[in-house]
């Protein structure tokens, strides 16, 4: 009866409710009896409730990249133009020119000599650079005799000469050499200064012009010296016109006229200036005539017996 009463009272409690569910009332009563008698009952496996495992979340698909805006290519405007700039005129450098000629002359084994002129233009360039060297040496000799004046003061005086002679150079690119020389000589006489003093100043400033690489100063000095009576300095004027040193535009034809005037004057007894030796004059003449020497028909020896 005690087991029955316990079954009624505790059948709904674990683990007895499990015994009741699996073995019924008899099994439950046996379990109570065994407990009273001290007999161990077999372990009742408690049925564990099954836990529903949550499914792993499926990753959301990556959002599609936003569409890039289409770049619009701007069509070339019909009125597009190439850039148009105004560049200032840059004077050619006689110093740079002669440095290049010096390198080429050394590579050729020396100066071009008379009878061996194959490149008239190059031979003329060599003669110009020789004349320039003589002008600088002569200027340095005279400058050393000028008392109480620094190089800067002498340079300032020479810039004044350049400005004073500039109007005489206005027609240098259009007038014949004789007209330019006559007009400049008239200007010099009207200055009231002794001609030999003007000539000495011209020689100094010719070399200074090359030393400081001022082509207008050198050109103005050469025109002054030519007009002062030493026509041999016309060679310098010719070289400047030929290469475009200190002038707006090169003029090979007028350049040739000035150089011929200078060469003829020296060959006819005029003062020798700028190292114008007979060899130099011969090279100048040959270069002006195109070089190559005098042509002739070939002559071959005949074989004996023909």
Which is nearest to 89 in space by CA: 252, 194, 215, 263? 215
pLDDT value of position 38 = 64
Q: Rounded mean pLDDT of 42-67?
A: 55
Which is nearest to 94 in space by CA: 225, 284, 254, 246? 246
Domain ranges of the chain: 2-37, 94-288
Q: Rounded mean pLDDT of 118-140?
A: 97
- pLDDT band of residue 296 (cuts 50, 70, 90) is very low
Residue 177 region by backbone torsions, left for phi larger than 0, else alpha for psi between -120 and 50, else beta:
alpha
pLDDT value of position 298 = 41
Q: What is the pLDDT of residues 232-277, one digit of tens each?
A: 999 999 999 999 999 999 999 999 999 999 999 999 999 999 999 9
Is residue 88 over pLDDT 70?
Answer: no
Cβ-based neighbour number of residue 3 at 10 Å: 16
Here the tokens at position 248 are 């707006």
pLDDT value of position 299 = 41
286 compared with 292, residue with greater pLDDT: 286
Percent of all residues in the chain with a pLDDT value above 70, rounded to a whole number: 65
pLDDT value of position 1 = 47
Which residue is listed with tokens 């007209």? 179
How far is residue 198 from each of residues 191, 203, 236, measured CA to CA in Å?
10, 9, 18
pLDDT value of position 306 = 47
pLDDT value of position 71 = 57
Is residue 86 over pLDDT 60?
Answer: no
d(CA 173, CA 162): 17
d(CA 221, CA 306): 66
How far is residue 209 from each of residues 45, 80, 140, 154, 272, measured CA to CA in Å?
122, 46, 12, 11, 21
Work out the angle between the directed axes of helices 195-211 and 215-227 (0-180°, nearest 10). 160
* Secondary structure element (H or E) that encloses residue 216, with its range: helix 215-227
- pLDDT band of residue 92 (cuts 50, 70, 90) is confident
Is residue 104 over pLDDT 70?
Answer: yes
């Amino acid at each position: 009866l005690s087991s029955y009463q316990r079954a009624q009272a505790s059948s709904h409690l674990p683990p007895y409710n499990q015994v009741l569910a699996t073995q019924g009332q008899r099994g439950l009563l046996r379990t109570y009896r065994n407990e009273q008698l001290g007999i161990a009952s077999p372990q009742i496996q408690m049925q564990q409730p099954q836990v529903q495992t949550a499914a792993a979340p499926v990753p959301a698909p990556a959002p599609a990249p936003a569409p890039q805006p289409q770049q619009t290519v701007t069509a070339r405007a019909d009125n597009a133009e190439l850039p148009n700039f105004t560049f200032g005129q840059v004077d050619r450098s006689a110093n740079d020119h002669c440095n290049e000629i010096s390198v080429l002359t050394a590579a050729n084994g020396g100066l071009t000599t008379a009878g061996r002129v194959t490149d008239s233009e190059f031979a003329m360039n060599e003669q110009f650079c020789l004349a320039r060297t003589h002008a600088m040496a002569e200027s340095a000799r005279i400058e050393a005799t000028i008392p109480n004046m620094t190089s800067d003061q002498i340079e300032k005086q020479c810039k004044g000469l350049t400005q004073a002679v500039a109007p005489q150079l206005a027609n240098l690119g259009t007038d014949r050499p004789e007209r330019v020389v006559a007009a400049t000589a008239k200007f010099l006489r009207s200055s009231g200064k002794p001609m030999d003093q003007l000539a000495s100043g011209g020689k100094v400033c010719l070399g200074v012009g090359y030393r400081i690489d001022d082509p207008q100063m050198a050109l103005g000095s050469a025109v002054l010296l030519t007009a002062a009576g030493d026509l041999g300095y016309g060679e310098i004027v010719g070289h400047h016109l030929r290469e475009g040193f200190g002038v707006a535009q090169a003029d090979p034809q007028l350049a040739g006229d000035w150089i011929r005037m200078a060469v003829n004057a020296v060959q006819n007894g005029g003062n020798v200036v700028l190292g114008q030796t007979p060899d130099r004059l011969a090279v100048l003449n040959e270069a002006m005539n195109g070089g190559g020497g005098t042509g002739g028909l070939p002559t071959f020896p005949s074989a004996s017996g023909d």
